[in-house]
Amino acid sequence: MYDQFCHIHIALRTALNYFLFPPPPLRHLAFPQKCSHKSESYQCTFGITCWMSGQRPLDLCNGGIFWSCCVPFETATNVTTIAVPEEISDPG
């Protein structure tokens, strides 16, 4: 009988402590929802979802390929034009 009373007392005391002093919110587990790339704002999403929607996942949301910044391919790639001399481009 005494053991049952002790278990009930401990459970009530634990519940009361939880109610009076709740734990802090889990802010450190939150993932960013927005990211910026080349002065534009984009959404953070799952990398595979981004890839399947025809966009490029960039590691700007601190989640690697799993939680990525979803950027259109036109914005993500650096387009560089290389001047090719005429004698190389036309061998004939």
DSSP 6-58: HHHHHHHHHHHHHHHSPPPP-GGGPPPSEEEETTEEEEEEEHHHHHHTTEEEE
pTM of the model: 0.50
Distances (CA, A) of 23 to 9, 11, 27, 29: 21, 17, 11, 14
Domain ranges of the chain: 2-89
Residue 28's pLDDT is what?
Answer: 59
Q: What is the pLDDT of residue 27?
A: 58
What pLDDT tens digit does each residue of the chain (92 aa) get?
A: 666 666 676 777 777 777 777 777 665 567 788 999 888 899 999 989 998 999 999 989 888 888 999 999 887 655 444 444 455 545 55
